[in-house]
Chain A
Amino acid sequence: MHGERKIRVLIAKPGLDSHDRGAKIVARALRDAGMEVIYTGLRQTPEQIVETALQEDVDVIGLSILSGAHNTLFPRIMELLKQKGLTDVLVVAGGIIPDEDVPELEKLGIKGFFGPGTPTDKIVQFIFENAPKRS
């Protein structure tokens, strides 16, 4: 069946933390909203995440992080995305990211931040509204 183009989302857990309940709940919510969600498991390097995004040709990357290493890992991921020419991919983040870190991360091009307690509907809606429109 061909029809409207499905939004493809990569849900990734960069770095060294082993808590993926949140990532899985978000993945499930996006799936239930009709998206195709690629889940890659724990402890991913920025290189792995970006290469996966490239091979899977995703529209959106959701980064889940609770280790506190976002200021190290996120810039590296954004840099690699640029190097590989994946500049139109929407990047959103969830987990524990202190408010004061958000402006710097926004400057890198990360667009949505969804901390603990965010209703999943809000994330779904944000992705529908902000995912790149491709033919």
Chain B
Amino acid sequence: MSEIEEIVQGVLAGDRRSIAKAITVIENNPEKARRIIASIYPHTGKAHVIGVTGPGGSGKSTLIEKIIREYRRRGKTVGVVAVDPTSPFTGGAFLGDRIRMQELSVDEGVFIRSMATRNYLGGIARATKDAVKVLDASGRDVVIVETVGAGQSEVEIIKVAQTIVVVFAPGLGDEIQAIKAGVMEIGDIFVVNKADRENVDKSVMDIRAMLQLSNKEQAWTPPVLKTIALTGDGVAKLIEKIEEHRRFLEREAGREKAREKAETELVEAIKEKVASLMIEELEKEGEFESYLQKILRREIDPMSAAEKILKKKLGGC
């Protein structure tokens, strides 16, 4: 059996070492990653994927620890991908999300993986989506993705998760500032954490008011909940809402959402494939370089160059 086949068999059998290795391959080796995903894909789609996002310091990691415990109490197995930023200057990363979840690392029903963004934008890493597929294929009932501290534009998580929980905390600055766009529009459930602090009701009201401004017709009205992640207060209620949203997806919007997700993935895959094929082709004959030189000399702009290339390669259109 090849190394890849062995890893795939291990993942499907739920073997923890194989899951860990598969994710490493996905992060480092696109060609092998494709082979792994191709083999496990038919076994995915069973886990409920929850995205947890929100500004840094709102308590995402601590809350996730409590969410995991609650799911474990209900007999569910859980996988976690926790994303932290890569330093754009050194390429290194400090991954500290596990600090809050450490006791869970010896629970056989829990698998936690830290992941650096490696400068991918949008609040997750390029490999996050496929790491989620690995955990899904390994038989986890629930997969949780923790994004980097996010606010206004880190919304890539919608391509990965079915239920998105946006976590805020009172006192992180002007709420309106923090929530003017971005995460405000992607949340299925909103949580004001650290609800033992002052001004929590004001935060809840602010968020409700923001949500009401949206004129989108919605079959699902995002609830706004209060939690105290440190003590676990409100977490059982949060799980109820997550489960309610899961059932809602199964009933109504689920198929449409799955379709949208599949469509985005297919479009992106085609873009990537076609682009790399085309570039490879151009490089063979040194054309890439000659277009590049023309662009540098300002003789042609990049978009016109791309059009010309396409016409030539695909024959007029």
Contact = CB atoms under 8 A, between A and B. Distances in A.
A55 B93 contact: no
A27 interface: yes
Interface string A41-55: 100110110011011
A57 interface: yes
Contacts of A37: 92-95
A48 B95 contact: no
B105 A51 contact: yes
A2 B95 contact: no
Contacts of B106: 45, 47-48, 51
Nearest to A52: B105
Nearest to A85: B17
Interface stretch (A28-36, A68-76, A91-99, A112-120): A28-36
Interface of B: 16-17, 19-21, 23-24, 27-30, 86-87, 90-96, 98-99, 102-103, 105-106, 111-114, 116, 118-120, 126
A36 B95 contact: yes
A54 B27 CA distance: 16
B90 A40 contact: no
Given A30-B92, A37-B94, A54 B114 contact: no
B92 to A, nearest CB: 4
Given A41-B99, A55-B113, A36 B93 contact: yes
15 contacts: A1-B119, A2-B29, A2-B30, A28-B94, A32-B92, A33-B92, A34-B90, A37-B94, A37-B95, A40-B105, A41-B98, A48-B102, A54-B16, A54-B17, A84-B17
Q: Is the interface of B mostly helix, strand, loop or mixed?
A: mixed
A44 B102 CA distance: 8
A39 interface: yes
Given A1-B126, A39-B94, A57-B20, 5 more contacts: A33-B92, A37-B93, A39-B99, A44-B102, A57-B23
A29 to B, nearest CB: 9
B98 A52 contact: yes
A38 B113 CA distance: 10
A2 B28 contact: yes
A104 interface: no
Contacts of B27: 6
A34 B95 contact: no
Chain A interface main SS type: mixed
Contacts of A35: 92
A34 B91 CA distance: 5
A107 interface: no
B54 to A, nearest CB: 21
A35 B118 CA distance: 11
Contacts of B95: 36-39
B166 to A, nearest CB: 26
A5 interface: yes
A50 to B, nearest CB: 9
A79 interface: no
Given A44-B102, A47-B106, A48-B102, A38 B20 contact: no
A2 B29 CA distance: 7
Given A31-B92, A47-B106, A48-B106, A36 B20 contact: no
Contacts of B120: 1
A123 to B, nearest CB: 14
Contacts of B103: 48
Contact of A38 (B21, B86, B98): B98
A56 B114 contact: yes
A2 B27 CA distance: 8
A46 B32 CA distance: 33
B105 A33 contact: no
Nearest to B115: A36
